[in-house]
Amino acid sequence: MRSDHGGTTVSLLHVAREAGVSRATASLVLRNSPLVAPATREKVQAAMLSLGYIYNRGAANLRQNRTGTIGLVLSNIANPFFSTLTAGIEDVNDIQEIVSFIADSGESTERQSRQIQRLREHNIDGLIICPSIGSDASLIADLDRLGLPFVQVLREIPGAQRDYVTVDYAAGIDVALTHLKRTGRKRVVYVGNMDTHSAALARVQGFREACARLDLTNVAVIDGTRDSCYDERRLDSLLNSPEPPEAAICYNDIMALALMNQLRRRGIRVGGRDEGGFAVIGMDDLAAAAAAFPALTTIATKPRLVGSAAARLLQKRMARPTRRPERQVIAPELVIRESS
């Protein structure tokens, strides 16, 4: 691309002359070619800055039949988890010189469908999507109809058999429950169940299976909502029972922090190894978890790593549209803090 600089038109040839290199070498610098020596690259970049040259990436992409953009459709961008996931995607995009168009479905399948159509109208090269609650096989059919390479992240449409990046939620919960057993807690409640998507189902199923394997008492599974609330009255009832729970595994950190507040209101101490300390474990390892009082033990699901893996997988799909679908599962990590 050429730009106005002092009333004159600046071309790549002007840049090459200013840097004392050939136009071909200047072009290689624009394309980040490894064939260019670092010193030469620096001279060309300095000349671009001095002359005010701006690369016409749109024209270059048009020649390559691509736009250098992808779509990112998330289910709830208000959740800090998704901002960290987006940062991981952008880590990869920055290296590949790709720009993301970000949209929020707000857990609405209708809104999700509209956003995908609009993104396709902007000629995005591919899509990363966390399917909204209620998404089914029609979503996959729509993406196929639009001819859009895509990767599912965190949630998977049942039976889709497409590129997918997720977290091993069950393994994380198993490790967390093993830790609780070591600290002497045997009666555990799961807080925040939602039979609404694959990630939620994997959590609660993992909880039930781990309780059975470790011979822990599954006191109850308490329902949650898509806005990270849970049935506080149900938990109050359990806490008032003859054999109340001694610990809780929560769907996410947001619910876990709310649970700790509820326990404090009742005068129940959170954490500590001695008798009477209620253990709370969250999931995701948001920044607020470490800053809480007491600091929240949590299952780190590594959203930045999930995002970067999804972005790389989408690059592979766009480069080879007919390759076999790939499933990547990120291993979580238990971060032990004062709450357990």
What's the pLDDT tens digit per position in 157-178?
A: 988 899 999 999 999 999 999 9
pLDDT of residue 244: 95
Buried b or exposed e, range 199-236, using 16+ CB within 10 angstroms? bbbbbbebbeebbeeeebebbbebebeeebebbeeebe
Interatomic CA distance for residues 44 and 288, integer angstroms: 44
Residue 169 neighbours by CB under 8 Å, 6+ apart:
199, 202, 203, 206, 283, 299, 301, 332
- Please give the backbone phi and psi of residue 166, each rounded to the nearest 5 degrees, phi first: -145, -175
pLDDT of residue 187: 96
* Tens of pLDDT, residues 267-317: 999 997 655 699 999 999 999 999 999 999 999 999 999 999 999 999 999
Contact 250, 282 (CB under 8 A): yes
Interatomic CA distance for residues 39 and 42, integer angstroms: 5
Closest CA to 310 of 79, 118, 82: 82
Would you give the distance in Å from CA 133 to the centre of its chain? Answer: 16
- 66 torsion bin: left (phi>0), alpha (psi -120 to 50), beta (else): beta
Interatomic CA distance for residues 17 and 22, integer angstroms: 7
Regions in the chain scoring below 50 on pLDDT? 1-7, 62-63
Q: Residue 198 is which amino acid?
A: S
pLDDT of residue 20: 87
pLDDT of residue 85: 96
Contact 263, 293 (CB under 8 A): no
Contact 276, 246 (CB under 8 A): no
